[in-house]
Amino acid sequence: MNYVIIGNSAAAVGAVEGIRQVDREGRITVISDEPYHTYSRPLISYWLAGKVPEDKMIYRNLNFYEANGVTPILGTKAEKISFKSKKVNLADGTDVPYDRMLIATGGKPIIPPMPGLDKNGVYSFLKFDDVKEIEQAVDSGKKKAVIIGAGLIGLKAAEALVKVGVDVTVVELANRILPAILDEQAGTMVQEYLKKCGMKFELNNTVTKVSGLSEVTGVVLQNGSELACDMLVVAIGVRPNIDLVQDTDVQLNRGIVVNEKMETSVNGVYAAGDVSEGFDIVYGANRVLPLLPNAYQQGEVAGRNMAGVETIFAGGLAMNAIGFGDLPMLTAGIIKPDSEEFEVMIKADSQTGSYRKLVLRDGCIVGYICLNRVDRAGILTGMIKEKVDVSAFKDQLLSPDFGYIDFPEQVRRLKLGGGAA
């Protein structure tokens, strides 16, 4: 059996390990346009900041390919998939045949149409090569950056650049930072913290033009003001990288549409990770779930199914665990409810800078924000996944010492392995 995996990140690793759980003999080929051993992309900002060396970025040991009988084709782009002849056409002109294939191409940066983006000094912040280019720019003397986008990618880029001595201004169209994962109150709290760390912000604004001849010298904002800079990082967001399957028989929505076995609409072809739409247990529908553990689980499920053992992806949820300096935060599920069917519970402490928000629907937790006090947030995540009815003890949920002891006895016995209630 010839297994071909396009992509080399978490979903690809999950697929390799899923296949090898079932089939120890089949040929596995991993194709990636990046030349690197599989690495953890969330660590690129830490590498740029000098916190993590390159040899600590690897996602699996250096013998991973050899130990799992994988043929890696790295630094070569897959240009086209010929589904009828079951071949992947590579940029170097070679063809790789497959019997079962996984598309795990992840995401790609959203680049808006904007005059001047072709100038030197414009960067993305998604791959290892992106931060290597930025490091070279900083080493060459560039010291003033504008970042478009105050989401997770933009703020991690800003944090790393401030760490290496760059003057950073973050421009965000929304009225707060991290608009996808924080509400207004939490966003304001995080913004104040980041300002103390050296970041500057332009909210309710965006970049409309990049100034300069061949090199970036500044940007023009929507409100007409100008900011001088010699670096521009575009971090508006990421979309599923579906380029390989555009205008093919593979069914697409925002990402590649898959069933519970991670199968696409084309026989023998699977998809996993940020390029696909997995089942979201909170929304009860398939959505892009851009989270490394979700990508790995989807890849493992796909790999087992590719090798002939039926396995179901039970679902995941959108979740973010991140920190800036000594400010940790965890968010999951629905954090900005838009109807009266939701109940919202909030506890903020200005003295400690902590903030907790729970969102409930039909007596069950469907989302939360934990800022600066994230201990025991795993219990909340577990209750979301298990759809625990918290109605009987919801008043204890925001207590600083909330734990399993606050569960009703019957629920606690089940959670702690005490047998059936």
**Measured CA distances, 421 to 363, 379, 404, 417 (Å):** 20, 20, 16, 10
Burial label, 267 (beta-carbon count in 10 A; 0-12, 13-18, 19+): exposed
* Order of strands, sheet of 200-203, starting from the edge strand that comes earlier in the sequence: 122-123, 231-234, 144-148, 167-172, 200-203
Q: Any residues with CB less than 8 A from the CB of 93 and at least 6 apart, and which?
A: none
In degrees, to the nearest 5, what angle opens at C-alpha 252 toward C-alphas 250 and 254?
Answer: 155
Of all residues in the chain, what percent carry a pLDDT higher than 90? 87
* Three-state SS at 319: strand
What is the chain's mean pLDDT, rounded?
Answer: 94
Average pLDDT over residues 238-245: 97
Q: Is the pLDDT of residue 419 over 80?
A: no
Q: Provide the H-helix boundaries in 6-100.
A: 10-22, 44-48, 64-67
Q: Is the pLDDT of residue 420 over 50?
A: no
Q: Is 334 left (phi over 0), alpha (psi -120 to 50) or beta?
A: beta
Max distance between CA atoms of the chain, in angstroms, equals 72
* Three-state SS at 364: strand
pLDDT at 40: 96
Residue type, position 386, single letter: E
pLDDT at 316: 92
Provide DSSP, 339-360. STTEEEEEEEETTTTEEEEEEE
Residues 310, 270 contacting (CB under 8 angstroms): no
Burial label, 354 (beta-carbon count in 10 A; 0-12, 13-18, 19+): middle
For residue 198, how many other CB atoms are within 10 A of its CB?
A: 15
Cα–Cα dist 391/111, whole Å: 45
pLDDT at 118: 95
pLDDT at 282: 94
The DSSP bridge partners found for residue 343 are 360
pLDDT (tens digit per residue) in 21-35:
999 999 999 999 999
Q: Is the pLDDT of residue 416 over 80?
A: no
Phi then psi for residue 66, to 5 deg, are: -65, -45
Cα–Cα dist 66/71, whole Å: 8
Question: Scanning the structure block, which residue is given the tokens 């250096």?
Answer: 62
Confidence of residue 418 (pLDDT cuts 50, 70, 90): very low
Confidence of residue 404 (pLDDT cuts 50, 70, 90): low
The larger pLDDT score, comparing residue 267 to residue 353, is at: 267
pLDDT (tens digit per residue) in 169-228:
999 999 999 999 999 999 999 999 999 999 999 999 999 999 999 999 999 999 999 999
pLDDT (tens digit per residue) in 92-117:
999 999 999 999 999 999 999 999 99
The larger pLDDT score, comparing residue 171 to residue 396, is at: 171
Q: Is 282 left (phi over 0), alpha (psi -120 to 50) or beta?
A: alpha
pLDDT at 421: 36
Written as six digits, the tokens of 3 are: 């297994």
Q: What is the dihedral of CA 140, 144, 147, 152, to 10 degrees?
A: 80
Domains and CATH numbers, the chain: 2-107+239-306 (3.50.50.60), 122-236 (3.50.50.60), 327-415 (3.30.390.30)
Crossing angle between the packed helical segments 10-22 and 292-306, to the nearest 10 degrees: 30
Residues 264, 257 contacting (CB under 8 angstroms): yes
Residues 110, 236 contacting (CB under 8 angstroms): yes
Of all residues in the chain, what percent carry a pLDDT higher than 70? 95
Written as six digits, the tokens of 384 are: 């979301």
